[in-house]
């Protein structure tokens, strides 16, 4: 099982994998900054709410790429918040959804060999 610091580092690694390929980089960069600084993990709840608004808008617009990106971002924000140990955590299985959502985003972005690129703990 990964430590909190390892999980945050994996989130950062994935963010930097996707960052050059995504048009909307604002919340990806916010995730990177948050993951790098444990004192900011408690802000994950607020970041999740910002991302969730974008997810709902992408769903309404039928924007599959953005929706897939934001779903990945949502689970990362939830995970960081949970790592903070603050009250009212998101579902305990939030970290379990990072890989499937990252894999889905890698496929939508046409990243070659997405399984290797997404491998957690690499």
DSSP secondary structure letters along the chain: ---HHHHHHHHHHHHHHHGGG-S--HHHHHHHHHHH-GGGGGGHHHHHHHHHHHHHHHHHHT-HHHHHHHHHHHHHHHHHHHHHT-SS---TTGGGGHHHHHHHHHHHTT-SSHHHHH-TT-
Q: What pLDDT, on a 0 to 100 scale, did the predictor assign at position 15? A: 97
For the entire predicted model, the pTM comes to 0.94
**Low pLDDT (below 50) residues in the chain:** 121-122
Q: What pLDDT, on a 0 to 100 scale, did the predictor assign at position 6? A: 94
Q: What pLDDT, on a 0 to 100 scale, did the predictor assign at position 117? A: 83
Q: What pLDDT, on a 0 to 100 scale, did the predictor assign at position 116? A: 85
Q: What pLDDT, on a 0 to 100 scale, did the predictor assign at position 122? A: 43
């Amino acid at each position: 099982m990964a430590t909190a610091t390892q999980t945050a580092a994996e989130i950062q690694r994935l963010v930097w994998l996707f960052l050059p390929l995504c048009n909307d980089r604002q919340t990806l960069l916010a995730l990177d900054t948050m993951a790098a600084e444990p004192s900011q993990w408690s802000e994950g709840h607020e970041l999740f709410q910002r991302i969730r608004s974008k997810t709902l808008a992408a769903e309404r617009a039928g924007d599959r790429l953005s929706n897939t990106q934001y779903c990945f971002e949502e689970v990362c924000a939830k995970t960081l918040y949970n790592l903070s140990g603050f009250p009212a955590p998101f579902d305990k299985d939030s970290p379990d959804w990072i890989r499937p959502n990252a894999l889905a985003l890698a496929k939508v972005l046409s990243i070659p060999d997405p399984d290797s690129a997404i491998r957690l703990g690499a």
